[in-house]
Amino acid sequence: MRGGINTGVHFGLTSGVITTLGLIVGLHSGTHSTLAVIGGILTIAVADAMSDALGIHISKEAENILSKKQIWLATAATFLTKLVMAGTFIIPVLLLPLTTAMIASVAWGLLVLTLLSLMLARSQRVSPFPVIAEHVGIALAVVIITHFIGDWIAQAFS
């Protein structure tokens, strides 16, 4: 059972952080609209969580390694973890000015990825720094790229 749940939790947390941060940063720089960011977060939390859960389900079926029960556990864990993780990003947007909320969201997402990477490195008995650097580096690349995409869209369509 652990294999399915671990798969779902690790995938859901990672995807929840990366996709939601990309969406928040891109929508912020493209629209500067709190309403657009809230709508985007809620959409990601539901639609992308379902999409990722189905993707994990089909991927695990194709691998033919896990039992049916483990596959369904991975599916459910992916959906619930992604839904909750993406949902946590709504809190700063509701409580803070949008630019401050975006910065707080990036800090929160990088903290979650850092802790997840640290736990992963410890479980594999490897040095945590390269694992953390790799995962946080990818997240930062997403943040930077989506910021510039949002800027470009704002300029192109205004």
**What digits encode the pLDDT tens for the residues 4-19?**
788 889 999 999 999 9
**89 Cβ neighbours under 8 A, 6+ residues apart:** 20, 21, 24, 41, 105, 108, 109
pLDDT of residue 127: 96
Kindly tell me the burial class for residue 99, based on how many C-beta atoms sit within 10 Å of its own C-beta (0-12, 13-18, 19 or more). exposed
The residues of the chain scoring below 50 in pLDDT are none
Cα 14 vs. chain centroid, distance in angstroms? Answer: 5
Looking at this protein, which amino acid is placed at residue 62? A
**Cα radius of gyration (the chain):** 17
Q: How many domains does the chain have?
A: 1
pLDDT of residue 66: 86
pLDDT of residue 5: 87
Q: Above pLDDT 70, what percent of the chain?
A: 98
pLDDT of residue 8: 87
Q: Which domain holds residue 89?
A: 2-156
pTM value is 0.93
Place of tokens 């510039």: 148
pLDDT of residue 7: 85
Rounded to the nearest integer, the mean pLDDT of the chain is 95
pLDDT tens-place string over residues 27-45: 999 999 999 999 999 999 9
